[in-house]
Amino acid sequence: MEKGYLSIVLHAHLPYVRHPEHERFLEEEWFYEAVTETYIPLVKVFHSLVRDGVDFRLTLSLTPTLLSMLTDPLLQSRYVKHLDRLIELSQKEMERTRPDSAFSPLAEMYHRLFLEAREIFCDRYHNDLAGAFREFQEMGKLEIITCAATHGFLPLLDIHKEAVRAQIRVGVETHKRILGRAPKGIWLPECGYTPGVDEILKENGILFFIMDTHGVLFGSPRPKYGIYAPVYCKSGVAAFGRDPESSKSVWSAEEGYPGDANYREFYRDIGFDLDYDYVRPYLNGDGSRINTGIKYYRITGKTDHKEPYSPHWAREKAAEHAGNFMFNREKQVEYLSGFMDRPPLVVAPYDAELFGHWWFEGPMWFDFLFRKIHYDQNVFKAISLAEYLEKYPCNQKIVPSMSSWGYNGYAEVWLNGANDWIYRHLHKAAERMIDLANQRPHAGGLEARALNQMARELLLAQSSDWAFILKTGTHSAYALKRTKEHLERFMRLWSQLKENSVDTRALESIESTDNIFPDIDYRVYLSKQ
C-alpha cells in the first residue's frame, strides 16, 4: 500500500498566433517549435509507456488557444511545410558534417527526429495532434484540464465578473468541443487566483484548480495539511497547492536538473552559428537569425567554450536525475506521512514547454521517471488530481489567498510600468461588451456576428501573454501590435454597432483573420446568466 501520491501537472500554453496575411510569420515559429520539441516528444513518451505496460498518470492543461492552433488547418499545413524545411536542412547538415565524427551522428539524430515527427504528425494523427492527447485521455493516463479562454490573468480582469466568466466559459466550451468531454479541472492562467474566481469555476462545472504554495498556505483558516492535501474554497471547488521542493529540482536555475553540463545547450543553434547564406533559406520572413532547433553542443560549464553534445551521456544523466527525483519524493512522502493522518499528496506543476523545448532531455526524463515510479518503488503512486479528489473527497474548507506563480508571487509581472496602461483600455472594452450584450440580448444576423467578433477580439486582447512580453522586452513590439490590433478591431465594431452600420466586408475580413472560438456566443457577457 502506497504511503502517498505524486501529481505531476504540465501546463501547455501558447498565445493564439496565426497570421494568414503573411506567408511566413516570425511569432508563428513559437507554435512550430513547441510542436516539434515538446508536444510530439511527449506523445512519443506516452506511447512508449503504454506500449511497455507502464501505468502512468499526468495532469495536463491544454489551453483553449493552444487547442485552437493545434486544430487549425492553416497552421497544421504550415507546420508540415516548416517540418519539411527542417528535414531538408538536417539532410544538408548530414552532408556538411560527414567528415566530423563528433557532429555527424548529431546531424543524423536531428534528421531522424524530424522524420519521426513528420510520421507522427502527418501519418499517425493526420495533422491533428489534439487527437493524440485525446487518445491518452481515453486510456485514463492523461487528465486533461482546461484554462481560461485566452489565458487572461484573472485577478486583473476581476473588476468585471462577466469578463472573468467569459474567459472561463469560453475556455470550457472550447475544451469540450475539441476534446469531447467537460474538463474537471482548470489551470488558472499564471496560477492567478483571487477570492471569488472559484464561484465562477463552480458555475462552469469545474471541480479543482492549482495554486502556488503561498496561495494555499496563507489562506484562512490555516490549512491543516499545508499544501499536502487540497482545500475547498467556500464554493466547494478544490484548490491544490504547489510543492516547492519538487518544483525547485526542475525549475531552479542553479540547482535544477536542466542546468547539468551534460545536457544540450539551448543557446548554440546553427541558426546563429553557421554561415548566413547557408542557413538563410531556413530563417523566417525578414531573414534575421533565429533558432532552427538544430543544436550540437552540451552545456559543458559556465563558459563560452562548449563541447559537442553526447546523446549517450545526456541519456545517462536523465536516468540519474529521474532516479534522484523519485528518491527525493520517496523520502518526502515517508517524512510527511509520519505527521499526517492521510496519505500526503505532492503536486509538482511545470510549464510543458520547459520539457523538450528548453530542456531537450525533459521528455526522456519523464519516460525514465514514470518507469522508475512504476517498477522501482512502493512508497508513492502517481495520481491525477481528479483521481485524488475522488479518493479523498473530504477536505478542509478555507479561503485561499490571492496569488500567482509569477515573480514575487502576485500580480507584479502583469502590472508594472511596462504594461499597466493596458488595463484602462481592457476594462473599458469589457464594460462596453457587457453593456452591448445587456442592451441587445436577442441580436441576430449581422448584428450578432459583429457582437460575437467583438467578444473574440476582447478575449484575444486579454491574453496575459501580451502584458508578460511587454514586461520582458523580447518581442514587445509584437505584443503591443496585438494589444492594439484587437482593441482597435473591437472599438471599430463597437462604433459601427452604435451607429447601426456594420461594414460586412470588413467584418468578414476580421472573422477570417481572428477565427478563434468559431461558435462563441456574445451572450456569455450578459450580466444575468
Partner 1 sequence: MRKRIKRKHKKAEKPRKLSFRRVKKTLRKIRSKVSRKSFKKHKIKDFISSFTAFPKQNGEFQGSRSAGFEFPSSYHENKLVLLVRDPWWVFAYWEVTPEREKEVLREILQKSLQKDKTVLRVYEITGTSPSHPNSSFDIELNFFTNNWYIDVGRPDTDWIAEIGIRTTHGHFFALVRSNAVKTPRFGLSDVLDEEWMMPDDLYWKLFGRMAGLSDRKSSLDVREVLERYLKGMVSSQSFPAPRKKS
Catalytic residue numbers read 190, 351
Residue span 392-431 as binding mask against partner 1, x where in contact by CB under 8 A, dash where not: ----xxx--xxx-xxxxxxxx--x-xx-xx-xxx-xx---
- In the range 143-182, which residues lie near partner 1 by CB under 8 A? 155-156, 159
Interface segment toward partner 1; rule CB under 8 A; list 40-48, 206-214, 303-311, 319-327: 206-214
Q: Phi-psi bin for 190: left (phi > 0), alpha (psi -120 to 50), beta?
A: left
Q: Between 105 and 272, whose beta carbon lies closer to partner 1?
A: 272
199 is a contact residue toward partner 1 (CB under 8 A): no
Q: How far is the CB of 248 from partner 1 (least distance, A)?
A: 9
245 is a contact residue toward partner 1 (CB under 8 A): yes
381 is a contact residue toward partner 1 (CB under 8 A): no
In this structure, what C-alpha cell is assigned to residue 393? 473527497
Q: How far is the CB of 371 from partner 1 (least distance, A)?
A: 25
Q: How far is the CB of 262 from partner 1 (least distance, A)?
A: 18
- In the range 349-368, which residues lie near partner 1 by CB under 8 A? 351, 353-354, 357-358
Decide: 451 and 389 in contact? Cβ < 8 Å.
no
Percent helix, percent strand, percent coil in the chain, to nearest 5:
55, 10, 35
Q: How far apart are CA 231 and CA 226, in angstroms?
A: 9
In this structure, what C-alpha cell is assigned to residue 71? 486544430
Give the number of other Cβ atoms within 10 Å of residue 135's Cβ.
17
Q: Between 313 and 423, whose beta carbon lies closer to partner 1?
A: 423
Q: How far apart are CA 107 and CA 112, in angstroms?
A: 9
- In the range 318-347, which residues lie near partner 1 by CB under 8 A? 331-332, 335-336, 339-340
213 is a contact residue toward partner 1 (CB under 8 A): yes
Q: How far apart are CA 76 and CA 316, in angstroms?
A: 35
- In the range 494-513, which residues lie near partner 1 by CB under 8 A? 495, 506-507, 509-510, 513
Q: How far apart are CA 427 and CA 500, in angstroms?
A: 23
Q: How far apart are CA 431 and CA 103, in angstroms?
A: 58
Decide: 200 and 164 in contact? Cβ < 8 Å.
yes
Q: Between 204 and 332, whose beta carbon lies closer to partner 1?
A: 332
Q: Between 220 and 303, whose beta carbon lies closer to partner 1?
A: 220
Before 393, cis peptide (omega within 30)? Answer: no
- In the range 14-43, which residues lie near partner 1 by CB under 8 A? 14-15, 19, 21, 29-30, 33-34
Q: Phi-psi bin for 520: left (phi > 0), alpha (psi -120 to 50), beta?
A: beta
Q: Between 159 and 446, whose beta carbon lies closer to partner 1?
A: 159
